[in-house]
Amino acid sequence: MLVALCSFKGSPGVTTSALAIAACSPTHAQPVVVECDPAGGDIFARFRLQPIPGLVSLAAAARRGVGPGVLAQHTQRLPGGLPVVVGPAGAEQARAALGEITHHQAAVLRAAADQDGMVVLADCGRVDPDSPALPIVRAADALVLLVHARDDELAHVATRLDTAARWTPKPCLVLVGNGYPTSEVARVLGVGVMGRIPHDPKGAAILSGTAHAGRGLQRTPLGRAATRIWTPLSAPPTVAPVGSQPSTKPVPPPRSGLPVGSVTRTSVNRTQP
Ligand SMILES: Nc1ncnc2c1ncn2[C@@H]1O[C@H](COP(=O)(O)OP(=O)(O)OP(=O)(O)O)[C@@H](O)[C@H]1O
Ligand SMILES: [Mg+2]
């Protein structure tokens, strides 16, 4: 399975959530995180890894062939053992590497993702129609858009859901932090919400390389939320129906209704399943 994770704007925690979801995978899944952010990667610096092997060496290898084992040859391991393909720090290098990796509908990622039990989580960063990571989004089995559940970020999502629906039949949201209730977001935007990642600085610090896992990431609120996301992620079809994932925890009530209805009623209706 190939899962593309991205945002439309801001830094809602795409990289952190991709690592959390991968690190909290069920035992039958073999996850690998691939940092495909055209703005450049953060993982190698955060965890003091080497820049190579990673996306750049994978791109060079993909020119020679895209067999199912190629991706695994360009991974490094995070503390705890999670395999990652780290992106280069520079945007120019990242974009050049993505140019190679996205050939033939991201064949090098697809070949790995089509193996039994393999789950390739591609962190595509902020996407727009010009993103060099877009072919990965289009080739993915699931598109997960991370967004803070607050006015400004939801307004951007609302105006761009139509575009996302052209990339993939059923884009899904994962809400981050407090804000509007999960069910209200799903209902108003007419989009599946896979789950909710809490604001959890301690959990995030483990995934940023600044804290040790201690008793385990799985015991943190972030880890528990990431574990729950595997249920809609694994269930066929690859996205949950609208409103099927109720909020797991009460969230502070919003000041008023979602800011998006009047602006984008057409797009909301069009994406309603
Ligand atoms: N659930 C969370 N709770 C608390 N802090 C978080 C959470 N997720 C991410 N963070 C913190 O927010 C910052 C940005 O996170 P991250 O790099 O994952 O965002 P991003 O969406 O990938 O950003 P970018 O688009 O710049 O790559 C980091 O300092 C990270 O530790
Ligand atoms: Mg990121």
For 191-248, the pLDDT digits (tens) are 999 999 999 999 999 999 988 876 689 999 999 999 999 999 987 443 444 434 444 4
Among protein residues, the one whose CA lies closest to atom 30 of ligand 1 = 204
pLDDT at residue number 65: 87
Indicate if ligand 1 lies below 6 Å from the C-beta of 178.
no
Please indicate whether residue 11, judged by its CB atom, sits closer than 6 Å to ligand 1: yes
Fold (topology level) of 2-271: Rossmann fold (3.40.50)
DSSP 8-state code for residue 217: G
Does the pLDDT at position 250 exceed 70?
Answer: no
Distance (Å) of CA 3 to CA 56, 63, 169, 209: 20, 23, 14, 23
Percentage of the chain lying above the pLDDT 70 cut: 85
Examine the pLDDT at 12 and tell me if it is beyond 60. Answer: yes
* Maximum alpha-carbon separation in the chain: 55
Q: Is the pLDDT of residue 171 over 70?
A: yes
The number of the ligand nearest the C-alpha atom of 195 reads 1
pLDDT recorded at residue 260: 52
**What is the average per-residue pLDDT within 126-134?**
96
Q: What is the pTM of this model?
A: 0.89
Verify whether ligand 1 is closer than 6 Å to residue 233 (CB atom).
no
pLDDT digits (tens, 9 = 90+) for 60-98: 999 998 899 999 999 999 999 999 999 999 999 999 999
For residue 214, what pLDDT is reported?
A: 67
C-beta neighbour count of 28 within 10 angstroms? 9
Ligand 1 centroid from CA 216, angstroms: 19
